[in-house]
Amino acid sequence: MNDDDLQVEGSSMPYRAKMTEVSKLLLTKEQLQGPLNDLATVIATALSVPHAAINLLDDESCWTVAGYGMNITRLDRVDSFCHFSLETPKILEVPDSLTDDRFKDSKFVLQSPFIRFYAGQPLVGSTGSRLGTLAVFGPDVRALDAGEAALLEQFSRIAVGLLEASGAVSSVRVTEENLQAQREFSNAVLENLADGVIACDGDGRLTLFNRAAREFHGLDANYDLATENWSTHYGLFRSDSITPLTLDEIPLLKALSGDKLHQLELVVRPTNGVSKRILCNGQPIFNSSGKRVGAVATLHDVTELKAKELELLETNQALRSATQAKSEFLANMSHEIRTPLNGITGMAELLLDTSLGGEHREYVEL
């Protein structure tokens, strides 16, 4: 069997057919490069990684059609991590490339960008063919948890929807209704994420406020609300759950000012709901020319986790208190027992100095 006829696991299409489909997408990628770059930014923010890339692979090359934190546009396929990712049934995760024989000698591990962590999710088209990968990577050893892996898989479906919509426009093979369906699909994926995703444009106007974000805040987004009123309107408080966030403490606005946020803790106190303890990641959004055009933030609910941590802390404190009480009790009992025993021992010694008979003396000596 040669490479032209090689089947990809999970696909009924050979590489040759897939390559033709990829070639068409490569001709039209510019049409959706803006939204794809925005998607890469959201992915990097949600997973708190410095690099994210949406790649298309043909038989010779790995083409980065959109990305965050990187400028590479083409690699030889055999040199790329994505070559291995595309041939993996699901996600390929490399927690530490230096311990993986496939990658430890790669120039991208030993030189910039010094990749230690990599995770790649195959991009599977509507026909079942594998078009490329959605990859995240960075210089630090780490691993995705189950929720992050699920997010990467969901984001890969959005990427495929956008790519196929772009190809549809170029080839004039689908109607405007089909394109709208692709957009609705992408929106539906965002709406079904467990994490909140919010975004704003360069002027601080909200542009995205998904279902999870609405549930956390207990209300719909007010796209015309001035930023000065966000803290009060959306019930934003510091981690003490008492102090309202000031304007310059609001995560999305901090990201808009250029900050990158990682695991920033805050409390959302909706007027008609239950308070939520939130960990927030965020960063600015830049266009292809490097101009800052907005910001994005993700919200992860850790209310139950923090409650369990507090319960565990209280349990440990109770155990320490019980251990201390036990130690004090044993010390007191030792003293109480030792005091009368000392008296008995002294009396026995005095008796031995008297003229006791043989049997009585034996009892005392015992």
pLDDT tens series, the chain, 366 aa: 333 333 333 333 334 344 467 777 777 667 667 888 889 999 999 999 999 999 999 888 898 989 998 877 888 898 899 889 988 888 999 999 999 999 999 999 999 999 999 999 999 988 888 899 999 999 999 999 999 999 999 999 999 888 887 665 455 444 566 667 777 887 888 888 889 999 999 999 999 999 999 999 998 989 889 999 999 999 999 999 999 999 999 999 999 999 999 999 999 998 877 889 999 999 999 887 888 999 999 999 998 877 676 677 766 676 676 667 666 666 666 655 555 656 566 565 655 566 555 665 565 555
Which residue in 5, 77, 66 sits closest to 40, CA to CA? 66
Residue 239 gets which letter from DSSP?
A: T
Between vectors from CA 258 to CA 255 and to CA 260, what angle results, nearest 5°? 60
Backbone angles phi, psi at 127, to 5 degrees: -85, -5
Which residue in 146, 186, 145 sits closest to 164, CA to CA? 186
Q: What DSSP element (H or E) covers 117?
A: strand 117-124
Strands 61-68 and 51-57: antiparallel
The domains of the chain, with CATH numbers, are: 3-191 (3.30.450.40), 198-301 (3.30.450.20), 320-365 (no CATH)
Which residue in 54, 58, 45 sits closest to 196, CA to CA? 45
209's CB contacts (< 8 A; 6+ apart) are 198, 220, 221
pTM of full prediction above 0.75: no
Tokens of 87: 């041939």
Rounded to 10 degrees, the C-alpha dihedral 288/289/295/297 comes to 40
Is the torsion defined by CA of 286, 287, 293, 296 positive or negative? negative
